[in-house]
Amino acid sequence: MKRTIDSYFKKGSSSVTEPSLDVDATCQTEPVSENDEAEKDSSGKAHAGKTIRTYEFRHQWLEEYQWLRYQDGAMHCVYCKFCGPSIAGLSKFVTASKQFKHESLKLHNDSMKHAKCRDRYISRDAAALPTAFRCQDLANRASEESELIIKFNVAYNIAKEEMPFTKFKSQIILLKKNGVHGH
């Protein structure tokens, strides 16, 4: 037998017997704490205790960030400590930071003040700058030389196969597209 909506709200209008629900038997109404570590204060009331997460220094960060130093239970930035608070600002990485969070290291590494301190630290040694330029120049020359070797090989292949030289540019583009760079 189909019931109408009204039959649910009016007593005695339906011949269908509804099962009786004993609230005490099916539901428990004890207060449940959201935190397993609920503590009771002096009045006896339960309150949720805050869990404090502690972070520890990870020694692999020393390999990831060359500027990072760990001493006496705190970490600092060599570059920012060298420049001091006048250039580095009031960062905890100037004196000592006990916030052992990887996110803090990333933010510090990307900061402009850190970059400025890094440049000052590197340029403090006048002999290191010409050496750095010389190394970069050698790397650039080696790269250019390997590109020229590839271009000569393409030109040689075009001449050997008696193809028109107008194919040279398209052959170079094809090599670059396929990942052949002169490095």
Structure confidence by residue, pLDDT tens digits, 94-146: 888 787 888 888 888 888 888 888 888 877 766 666 777 888 888 888 889 98
Q: Which pair of structure tokens corresponds to residue 36?
A: 């397993």
Q: What is the pLDDT of residues 3-51, one digit of tens each?
A: 777 776 756 544 444 444 333 333 333 343 444 434 444 444 444 567 7
**Long-range pairs for 56-60 at CB < 8 Å and ≥24 separation?**
56/100, 57/100, 58/100, 58/102
Burial class, 104, CB count within 10 angstroms (exposed 0-12 / middle 13-18 / buried 19+)? middle
- Kindly tell me the number of DSSP H helices and DSSP E strands found in the chain: 9, 4
Q: Which residues contact 8 (CB under 8 A, 6 or more apart)?
A: 14
